[in-house]
Structure 1
């Protein structure tokens, strides 16, 4: 039989999948749920129990998807006391089936979350992304997404970088620790086609790039990549962190998100116009303006922690204003106008810590609104966009971004009120704990003198 659920069908039957896994010596299967932060919440299932859970669903505490960054249960997030702390049912998407190459005899299935009566948990990140993609589909387009992740490798005992100094692209530092080589070796086995791997600007900072894919698949791979990097690093005796700004005097880590649209009618890149001075079509300009217009609201999803806002300062290869420019690494939107099928837009807002499902949803939702409005962005400027005062500044705190998300009715409607309510309530709970915390800086500044 072929599993079908809520209109989604898979290319492989459950019978065939289980037979293949048994032949490959798979003993256990992870049923994984991406939570609000992009962290994998899972249960490990013996292979002989997978069929029952795949057909009927696997129970898991329903508030899991809405736990805050310390896994605290946050009141008022719809999925806790309001539901009497009931279970959700995890329904595996068989198209995500994969053997996990960094684990022994283990496969995985990424799951979608539903209540017992079949109602989706609309705030679950995969549902949010699907909702946005359905709106893009109505306009006649499919999105192709590529993600660039930066991360730091640390000594787990001291939580300091594995080497000092700034050695971007330095060959000896590229290979200074075995983690990157192991990542490059193993990731293709789970479907992540590595393109490049190198040390980045910060000491112990790395960037590993892989190929672009359709939006939901790209988000699944981003989820897999981040959780896999952390696990591989741990197995080799290191700690990998995607925290946006782990060190105040070193580079922040981003997750630049590359997007192009394919016309469903023609199968062609909808962003390409060889006759345009910048090589961009009206569709590309409309999509760009949408990302600019809704940047303040989208930033809550792309920079979802207080720490993220240390990244957005001028002259650090991160955007500091709501801007765009052809091949401009200082702009929020970098137009990669290669004048061929590779032409695309690069949104440089998302931080490495962001949830790939939600950051991609934010990019596409803003773009969809731009396609609907058909407004053009400001004219491209000469020089670095970050140095032009006519571009408005980005939010400087998570509080500002959350306020913008709640005020942006069009953007909020695309993502869904249920998601926005759950997300903002959880984030404001984290902010309350953050503001109540006495920092090392405060002690060092005031404790002795005063």
Structure 2
């Protein structure tokens, strides 16, 4: 709906007031996928919808440490505004904060009236426009892991895992979660209406996975973004830290962000777009074909080939931090080779056994620190390039993977991944020149700051002996 349409705004205000809400929190993702927001008193919602909320565009260029990176359009332009308009279709009440509802915001550049080039949500919208031109609507199912931590002033970093229990993967209850964090979190997230379905303890102590139902790509990205923000906020309320950092501890594995991807076919039996919703009015899974190799349609196989072909560049979005690449390596169960397999969890791209309406592939490359919008946009852009090219993937991996004699190695550092992204002009052509330039500048500043920083490891390794 149009946020400036007064009658619907008033309708939402009346509904929220009846539920005891007097504040609307308008949120949007920054470049790294963290939540930026403003609380708006309910009486002032019409003005926010009509005129937008002004923020400095350099919010997209601000590092986690508060530095402003010299990205084009920010410092060099005198720190101009962006405008954020509430998307009232995404309104929901916050179950844990009385009197507060929340919605996402759409970000525009007031000078042009167009989406801000750095806006992750609008980047995904642009990529989806290319899929729509093919008569396809991608469907995405996000899977995210995180660690729950408690204060530990005596530890490096000031935090420790809430449990050191081992061997408790795929469990629930007090065995690995002594105070039922998972149950409390599941129930509150259910009431947030973001499509949470289930959860369990993961491989390492204090590590959890909560699953979200699949949905069309933008809606799935919105829910994954809100999920991460909510989990972190709920932990803060208890004096804890929930981190989606790729690998926060030396003595534990990493946290992944896996994507299950399929597509609905909006074309009729003659390949013409069908506005009634697919083949003769039926929503068909474009990845399913019982008569084709592996039971996967040409569309699915070509999409897999595209993801494999553009995987080095995609790593810059799927594994977006210096820390991300410490999740990779032998015996990590994290993919660091470019391969695919049939129901094979050691492959970068896994095809689960379901076919028919459940036909899909799972990209296991991403880590939990990835921005949901950028990970999904990059994956869809790579898959679409494969569909357009009609590429076929190589033979699927058989047996346990991680064999460099059979598969190419992904970039093993953030600088290498950023170089691969810059070199992949096909992929960046879909992502857009302005976004790519902003992202590369921002991330290369992160690398430079890390390379100048003296770490605890360096002092432990050299301080006494040299």
TM-score, length of structure 2 as denominator length: 0.92
Report what 2:110 is aligned to.
116
| Residue 247 of structure 2, aligned match among 245, 248, 258 | 245
Q: CA deviation at 1:430?
A: 0.7
The number of equivalent residue pairs is 444
Quick check: 155-164 or 345-354, which moved more?
Answer: 155-164
1:107 aligns with 2:106: no
| Residue 133 of structure 2, aligned match among 135, 138, 143 | 138
Q: SS at 2:37's partner residue?
A: strand
Report what 2:186 is aligned to.
184
C-alpha distance after superposition, 1:118-139 (max 9, x if no partner): 1321221011111111001111
CA distance in 2, matches of 1:241, 1:417: 31
C-alpha distance after superposition, 1:153-200 (max 9, x if no partner): 111344111111312134433542332112110112222232221111
Question: Quick one: structure 1 residues 192 and 119, their matched pair in 2 at CA, closer, same or farther if it must change by over 3 Å?
Answer: closer
Report what 1:406 is aligned to.
422
Report what 2:271 is aligned to.
none
Q: CA deviation at 1:31?
A: 1.4
1:256 aligns with 2:258: yes
Question: What are the within-5 Å matches in structure 2 for residues 208-357 of structure 1?
Answer: 208-265=210-267, 266=279, 267-357=283-373
1:43 aligns with 2:38: yes
Report what 1:161 is aligned to.
161
CA distance in 2, matches of 1:366, 1:338: 23
C-alpha distance after superposition, 1:56-81 (max 9, x if no partner): 11111111123223232111x12312
Q: SS at 1:289's partner residue?
A: helix
C-alpha distance after superposition, 1:285-319 (max 9, x if no partner): 00000000000111101100010001121322211
Q: Contact (CA 8 Å) 1:366, 1:411: kept in 2 or not?
A: yes
Q: Contact (CA 8 Å) 1:325, 1:385: kept in 2 or not?
A: no
Q: Contact (CA 8 Å) 2:257, 2:367: kept in 1 or not?
A: yes
1:378 aligns with 2:394: yes
Structure 1: stretches of 5+ with no match in the other structure? none
| Residue 19 of structure 1, aligned match among 14, 18, 25 | 14
CA distance in 2, matches of 1:442, 1:285: 46
Q: CA deviation at 1:37?
A: 1.0
CA distance in 2, matches of 1:194, 1:428: 35
CA distance in 2, matches of 1:289, 1:307: 28
Report what 1:126 is aligned to.
121
C-alpha RMSD of matched pairs (Å): 1.7
Quick check: 419-428 or 83-92, which moved more?
Answer: 83-92
CA distance in 2, matches of 1:248, 1:33: 32
Report what 2:462 is aligned to.
446
TM-score, length of structure 1 as denominator length: 0.95
